[in-house]
Amino acid sequence: MAEPGTLERLEATIAARRGADPDSSYVAKLNARGVPKIAQKLGEEAVEAVIAAMADDRKGLVSESADLLFHLLVMLGAKGIALEEVLAELDRREGTSGIAEKASRKE
């Protein structure tokens, strides 16, 4: 079996911290505040990534992308969705035109 990658290790760390003391863990604090707060943070990070991209700020885009992925994994965990499910969906779409894939969702 392959060693877990960065995102898998991060997912495990987030899962381990979800039930920690909110005063000592940012993940626990976010989860204690609920999905609306997690969603707000996820949205903020997405906007910040877009702003960095539009400003041609490579370093900023890398940093904000890391924040975005982190908060996405927090959200997925809060909703009981494993990263593996998202990766399986990407695998399912592999080799399919993005235009064709989007069209298939309307059917």
CA angle in degrees (0–180, nearest 5) for 90-73-46? 85
Is residue 43 one of the residues assigned to a domain? yes
User: What is the count of structural domains for the chain?
Assistant: 1
Is residue 16 one of the residues assigned to a domain? yes
- CATH code for position 60: 1.10.287.1080
Out of 42-51, 74-83, 92-101, pick the least confident.
92-101
For residue 32, the enclosing domain spans: 6-81
Token readout for 13 is 């760390």
Average pLDDT, the chain: 93
Query: Above 90 in pLDDT, residue 44?
Result: yes
Is residue 39 one of the residues assigned to a domain? yes
**pLDDT recorded at residue 99:** 74
- The string of DSSP letters for 71-84 reads HHHHHHHHTT--HH
**pLDDT recorded at residue 101:** 61
Is residue 91 one of the residues assigned to a domain? no
Q: Which has more confidence, 56 or 103?
A: 56
Q: Rounded CA gap, 57 and 64, in Å?
A: 10
Q: How many CA atoms are closer than 13 Å to the CA of 77, on its beta-carbon side? A: 25
